[in-house]
Amino acid sequence: MTLTGQLLIGQRAVTGSRGEIRAFNPATGEALEPVYRGGGQAEVELACEVAWAAFDSYRETGLEDRAAFLETIASEIEGLGDDLIERAMAETGLPRGRLEGERGRTCGQLRLFAEVVRAGEWLDVRLDPALPERQPLPRVDLRQRHIALGPVAVFGASNFPLAFSVAGGDTASSLAAGCPVVVKAHSAHPGTSELVGRAVQQAVAKCGLPEGVFSLLFGAGREVGQALVSDPCIQAVGFTGSRAGGLALLATAQARPQPIPVYAEMSSINPVFLLPEALKARGGEIAEGFVASLNMGAGQFCTNPGLVIGIKGEALDAFAAAAGQAVKGSAAQTMLTPGIHAAYEQGVGQLAGSGKAREVARGQAGEGPHGCQAGLFSAPAGDFLADEALQAEVFGATSLVIECTDLAEMVAVAEQLEGQLTATLQLDDGDLAAARALLPALERKAGRILANGWPTGVEVCHAMVHGGPFPATSDARTTSVGSAAIQRFLRPVCYQNLPAGLLPEALKDGNPLGVTRLVDGERES
Amino acid sequence: MTLTGQLLIGQRAVTGSRGEIRAFNPATGEALEPVYRGGGQAEVELACEVAWAAFDSYRETGLEDRAAFLETIASEIEGLGDDLIERAMAETGLPRGRLEGERGRTCGQLRLFAEVVRAGEWLDVRLDPALPERQPLPRVDLRQRHIALGPVAVFGASNFPLAFSVAGGDTASSLAAGCPVVVKAHSAHPGTSELVGRAVQQAVAKCGLPEGVFSLLFGAGREVGQALVSDPCIQAVGFTGSRAGGLALLATAQARPQPIPVYAEMSSINPVFLLPEALKARGGEIAEGFVASLNMGAGQFCTNPGLVIGIKGEALDAFAAAAGQAVKGSAAQTMLTPGIHAAYEQGVGQLAGSGKAREVARGQAGEGPHGCQAGLFSAPAGDFLADEALQAEVFGATSLVIECTDLAEMVAVAEQLEGQLTATLQLDDGDLAAARALLPALERKAGRILANGWPTGVEVCHAMVHGGPFPATSDARTTSVGSAAIQRFLRPVCYQNLPAGLLPEALKDGNPLGVTRLVDGERES
């Protein structure tokens, strides 16, 4: 497929009217063709208008039709073949294996949401039948279902050019919920975005859906994103990226005449607690696992383990020495963009220059222009507790080991943490009491609590929570990965005494959709 | 029980340090004893601290213990006997029957949430068992449950001194979710609030729960409320009241270092669409039902029908004439407070003086100081579409009839509406096509859609939605009445590979709580 550098608005391809976007190969610095032209206010409005025009029809598509659409998107993405992988490799510096895996995850996610749509749990059907004889007052017939919120603005993330981008989790869950989607592509991978966007566009056409179900916009700077979130047709926002970026969109969404929900996944340092028995028994093994997780994707994962907390002593020293050795041996990996690399260098510099964090080890310096030189630092818990700056996320393969005097100080560190996507416990049987002391704080701070694993690696399934209290996300009540992500884009509507001819299928007598229902408070599956 | 005029902080009764609050009998203007002293920053902080201290323990109470606590609150309220009804009558001017009914609703609501807690649907348990043999990568063991958000600030509403006040829906659903509650009493009924607050306090003691599970604050002006919403211990807000009040709390909540969810139920004019066949066949009967709903509680219901839309012609004229007759015969009812009465008079005055709305009828002027003189106005749809001011809620028994030229203009009016709690259709068999033309807009605009009924009267059940798009509420994704209201105060947490000894009961193998679960995406009840 030849890339054209155009915006995709419904079934059209439109040449943008604003500033240029150019992809670069971060491994070589080489500029990639074509040049993308950004959209302006007019293109944003057009995309939002066609999305709005598609909304009422799309949100009432049958379960099977909507599921088939999601599956068609997956097939169309697979149909792009190696063109997609090669373009993504060139634009991101990520290795083939990782991108092939990510494509599998992206398509698997679309197919999971197809199954979720079919199962119909998301409709949350509730029926309270009329009780005409009830005293002192009869009860009317009340039926509830969930409907789509409206067109959703999705922002592609740089670090997962497929799974959190044009047809990633936010798009899949929005479409599953019945919401048209307008994607703002991340400028780091415009070619990958166009390829995937054309696959979605094709799926819309193949499934005979209204064209406005999907549009893809490009834009340098913040203008397109801000215009998109301000547009009255947009009813929710999905975002994965920086804290500053997420907060800016949140402020815009809240300042609208009609405020809208923003699901921004922003910032997390993913603390790992090394409990004493586990540390003593297998500190070396834990160090190895830790550095493997730290280095994954050059540390450019939302769930990168950026903080390790242990009780000071021989075992923690041995862990730090082993981890330091592994970090020292870590080859530099190319980072996604010059901007991310510069921010990483700055973050590591601030940590090193804080006067509080001691350098344990640095990895190998890269030969290419944007290599991530891994880093391991350590600091006493007292300093960590006294200085909020040590909690700042350094996006990349650098972590900080916090040395506590005892379990009580470990709990104090947990209590001081900001909201997190994950919290990890390394523990053995003898550590259960210590783990119990930490758990209440961890439940309050994190969306996912792991034992004896590593936070990188987020399974796409039903029980996953990729979310957490602020500032991990802007809305702790949800997840952006897994089937429950669909709930972000729905709201309940109750129908009282509606004639059968007006009731939506999901609420009709006899349960024609065959979905699980709560009837008079009793679950009926 | 003797009223003391004190704040209730945990098990303590504390004399406030700030300005005085005095209840008045709105029917007579008589001042009621005792004087209440408002809380200041110190009392707010203390209440929030004890709430925070209670949180970890209270959120892990067993289902049966928590349910029994809610039932004990209901019994304690009933145990107040006629003292409660008499004080509420004196403070609100509402008649005995209404308040006895409201007490039944309040206690019924607490008992419904007890059943909801026991059933455990709210835990939303999801299990994705480990798949150690899966290729290319094994799947870890993932289990999800919902936990309480944290202490909740609840604002009592003036118009339901029991059901939306100290132990009303927001308190019941917060406590059911496992959240301690700090109530800011409405200054219009401090004695009623103290009585109910002492009943809850007593229930906390009887059930052996940590004292911080419940506190009750008084405060003149906005200081206490703003301090409460700003307090770092508070994790969510429940509010029913004016648009200005709700938006002020929302702004405060969003400006916190850690923003928190606000569930504000604010403003709704509850449009009623008179479809042609129904209007022709039974306009007189509809007019009668309409005016009865309009006058209910002096129109001081969130769901009061403030807007009626029909197609102009003989049938609509006949409806307006009949409704006007009924309005003219309406006796003035005492409004809740001088402030509400003044705002009502001002709202009616603005409507009358708009130069767009024509007066159809006014009700009888009251003899007491704060009587609500009912009102009915009419305006052409063209004027309504052109002037946003005609959409402003007039809180009280006044409504506006909008005359459309045809169905298309009726749909245009529906499309122009702001978000609403309810939308009502009066329809006969011949109106189904017209109803279908309106439904998509109504679903987008309202939380509840009724046929051939009246929006006043909100059933407390599982399928109810008392919510709706902004500005009806600040969060359309929820309801503040009915069992689903519990979901507002919960967030998901995922546990990955946790040893059995650390798993919460709800997630243990063998389902010891016997709750419905989603296992590998399949519903298991």
In tens, the pLDDT along B325-352 reads 999 999 999 999 999 999 999 999 999 9
Q: Give the model confidence (pLDDT) of A372-389 as tens digits.
A: 999 999 999 999 999 988
Contacts of B516 in chain A (CB under 8 A): 523
Q: Among all residues of chain A, which has the CA nearest to that of B436?
A: A502
pLDDT of residue A108: 97
3-state secondary structure of A522: strand
| Cross-chain CB nearest to B447 (options A150, A439, A494) | A494
Looking at residue B272, its pLDDT comes to 98
Alpha-carbon gap, residue B376 to B361, rounded angstroms? 5
pLDDT higher than 90, residue A369:
no
Q: What is the mean pLDDT of residues A285-303?
A: 96
Q: What is the distance between the alpha carbons of residues A439 and B338, in angstroms, rounded to a whole number?
A: 51
**Most B CBs within 10 Å: which of A477, A483, A517, as the mutation test of the B interface?**
A477
Residue B367 scores a pLDDT above 90: no
What is the model's pLDDT at position B366?
81
Predicted local distance difference test score (pLDDT) of residue B410:
98
**Per-residue pLDDT at B525 exceeds 80:** no
Quick one: chain B helix, strand, coil %, rounded to 5? 45, 20, 35
Shortest CA distance from A455: residue in chain B: B496
| B437 CB-contact burial (10 Å; exposed 0-12 / middle 13-18 / buried 19+) | middle
Identity at A266, one-letter amino acid code: M
State residue B271's pLDDT score: 98
DSSP E strands: which ranges in B16-141?
18-24, 31-38, 125-128
- On the question of pLDDT at B481 being above 90, the answer is yes
Cβ pair B493:A449 closer than 8 A: yes
B451–A502 C-beta distance less than 8 A: yes
Average pLDDT over residues B65-72: 98
Calculate mean pLDDT across residues A75-96.
97
Q: What is the pLDDT of residue B223?
A: 94
User: Which residue carries 């994607």 as its tokens?
Assistant: A183
Which helix (H) or strand (E) segment holds residue B303: the answer is none
Q: Is A459 left (phi over 0), alpha (psi -120 to 50) or beta?
A: beta
Active-site annotation holds for B461: no
Closest partner CB to B492 (pick from A453, A465, A518): A465
Stretch A157-176: mean pLDDT: 97
Tell me the whole-structure pTM to 2 decimals: 0.97
Share of chain A above pLDDT 70, in %: 100
A455: DSSP letter? S
- Spatial strand order of the sheet with A446-451 comes to A358-362, A375-380, A398-404, A307-311, A271-274, A420-426, A446-451, B490-496, B142-148, B125-128, B517-519, B522-524
What is the C-alpha to C-alpha distance for residues A218 and A214, in angstroms, rounded to an integer? 14
Please provide the average confidence, as pLDDT, over all residues in chain A.
96
Considering only CB atoms, which chain A residues are within 8 Å of B463? 126-128, 142-144, 494, 518
Say yes or no to pLDDT of A525 above 80: no
Single out the catalytic residue among A265, A393, A403, A409. A265
Contact A496 B147 (CB under 8 A): no
Over residues A214-239, the mean pLDDT reads 96
Tokens of residue B368, six digits: 């007491």
Within 8 A of B143 by CB-CB distance, chain A residues are 463
Over pLDDT 90: what percentage of chain B?
95
B283 confidence band (pLDDT: 50, 70, 90): very high
Q: How far apart are the CA of B463 and the nearest CA of chain A, in angstroms? A: 5
In chain A, % helix, strand, coil (3-state, to 5) comes to: 45, 20, 35
Mean pLDDT of A494-517: 97
Averaged pLDDT score across all residues of chain B: 96
Question: Per DSSP, what are the bridge partners of residue B153?
Answer: B182, B237
The H-or-E segment that residue B286 falls in is helix B276-295
Does ipTM exceed 0.90? yes
**In the predicted structure, residue B420 carries a pLDDT above the cut 90:** yes
B391: left (phi over 0), alpha (psi -120 to 50) or beta: alpha
Among B121, B476, B478, the residue with its CB nearest the CB of A523 is B121
Give residue B140's pLDDT band: very low, low, confident or very high (50, 70, 90).
very high
Instruction: Please check the confidence at residue B136 and state whether its pLDDT lies above 90.
Output: no
B101: Cβ–Cβ under 8 A, 6 or more apart, which residues?
none
Residue A484: closest CA among A454, A468, A462, A451: A462
Cβ–Cβ below 8 Å for A142 and B463: yes
Q: Is B465 exposed, middle or buried (0-12, 13-18, 19+ CB in 10 A)?
A: buried
- What's the pLDDT tens digit per position in B14-27? 999 888 999 999 99
Percentage of residues in chain A with pLDDT exceeding 90? 95
What's the rounded Cα separation, in Å, for the pair A152 and A131?
Answer: 39
Known catalytic residue at A494: no
Residues A2-55: tens digit of each pLDDT = 999 999 999 999 999 888 999 999 999 999 999 999 999 999 999 999 999 999
Residue A420 and residue A270 in contact, taking contact as beta carbons nearer than 8 Å: yes
Consecutive H or E run containing B347: helix B338-352
Mutation target among A258, A494, A517 for the B interface, most CBs of B within 10 A:
A494
Cα(A518)–Cα(A1) distance, integer angstroms: 49
∠ CA(A39), CA(A42), CA(A47), 5° rounding? 80
- Is A291 in contact with A323 (CB distance < 8 Å)? yes
Catalytic-labelled residue, pool A302, A393, A403, A409: A302
Residue B52: list chain A partners with CB under 8 A: none
Position A204 confidence tier, pLDDT thresholds 50, 70, 90: very high
Q: Is it the case that residue B504 has pLDDT exceeding 80?
A: yes
Q: Is the peptide bond before B261 cis (omega within 30 degrees of 0)?
A: no
CA gap B358, A153 in Å, rounded: 43
Amino acid A221: pLDDT: 86
Structure tokens at A399: 């972590």
Q: What are phi and psi of A24, to 5 degrees?
A: -125, 145
CA atoms A442, A443, A449, A452: torsion sign: positive
Q: Region A331-335: what's the mean pLDDT?
A: 94
Q: Is a pLDDT exceeding 80 seen at residue A145?
A: yes
